[in-house]
Amino acid sequence: MIVDVITLFPDMFEGPMSTSIVGLARERGLLEFRAHDLRDWTHDRHRTTDDAPYGGGPGMVMKPEPLFEAIEAVQSLEDEPGFVVFFTPSGRPFTQELAEGLSARERLVFVCGRYEGFDERSLELADLELSIGDYVLTGGELPAMVVTDAVARLVPGVLGDDESAADESFSAGLLEYPQYTRPADFGGREVPDVLRSGDHGKIAQWRREQSIRKTARVRPDLLARASLTEREREIAADEIKRADEPEERQASQ
């Protein structure tokens, strides 16, 4: 996979895109990642990329001309056209499902804004507008790195067998169960007995129940789309009921 990023701050990408799994994917030739400086496609003395908004109001807007030129130039670097993603707080919410879709593409072109955002006419060039969450950042660079990270790990061969993304779909729609490693007793905080029992059926059942309870507590919105048995629905309902009970009753149970 090839990822090209267009940004005013190409240096921001150096550490994160050269470290750990993403860095290794690049070294192995599974991921080609290039950051391009948008100012390379300005033509005035001050290399201007922003201007005041028509209609007035605070802040500045990304000028369209450098973006149009940059996207055309970056697209021309390969025969394969890149799927163009703009990062903006008003984009579609990024999900694991979108990460899977993007990971199936040969080539992505990410466009990062700064200031108050893009001139609406630049968005014509977008195949997709993405947001990584309901908060406002100072620019699209961190979102572009988040999405590159999420997509790169889904590219075949990037993760080792141990880290494999393959079994993530099994528990899809639920939060992870709690994990433990040695020591078995950490200053009196003990690993649950079931995990040391060697009974793999019991362990799988315990983990599944823990996942359901955790999801019911912190992300009850996810339960609507999770595939649960009738018994598992009762476990989720029990956990939601517990959260509504007074503290003293929870502590005594």
CB of 242 to ligand JB8, least distance (A): 35
- Applying the rule CB under 6 A, the residues between 137 and 196 that interact with ligand JB8 are 137, 139-140, 143
CB 42 within 8 A of CB 48: yes
Between CA 221 and CA 32 the distance in angstroms is 37
C-alpha angle with apex 102: 100 to 106, nearest 5 degrees? 120
With CB under 6 A as the rule, give the number of residues binding ligand JB8: 14
Between CA 51 and CA 226 the distance in angstroms is 47
CB of 52 to ligand JB8, least distance (A): 15
Upstream peptide bond of 183 is cis (omega within 30 degrees of 0): yes
For ligand JB8, the binding residue among 131, 148, 211, 215 (CB under 6 A) is 131
CB of 127 to ligand JB8, least distance (A): 16
Residue 113 interacts with ligand JB8 (CB under 6 A)? yes
Residue 66 interacts with ligand JB8 (CB under 6 A)? no
CB of 12 to ligand JB8, least distance (A): 13
**Of residues 128 and 137, the one with the C-beta less far from ligand JB8:** 137
Helical packing angle, 20-27 and 141-152, nearest 10°: 70
Residue 82 interacts with ligand JB8 (CB under 6 A)? no
Between CA 5 and CA 85 the distance in angstroms is 9
For ligand JB8, the binding residue among 87, 94, 110, 206 (CB under 6 A) is 87
Q: Which residues, 6 or more positions from 144, have their beta carbon under 8 angstroms from its beta carbon?
A: 5, 7, 13, 87, 110, 112
| Residues at the contact surface with ligand JB8, assessed by CB under 6 A | 87-89, 113-115, 117, 131-132, 136-137, 139-140, 143
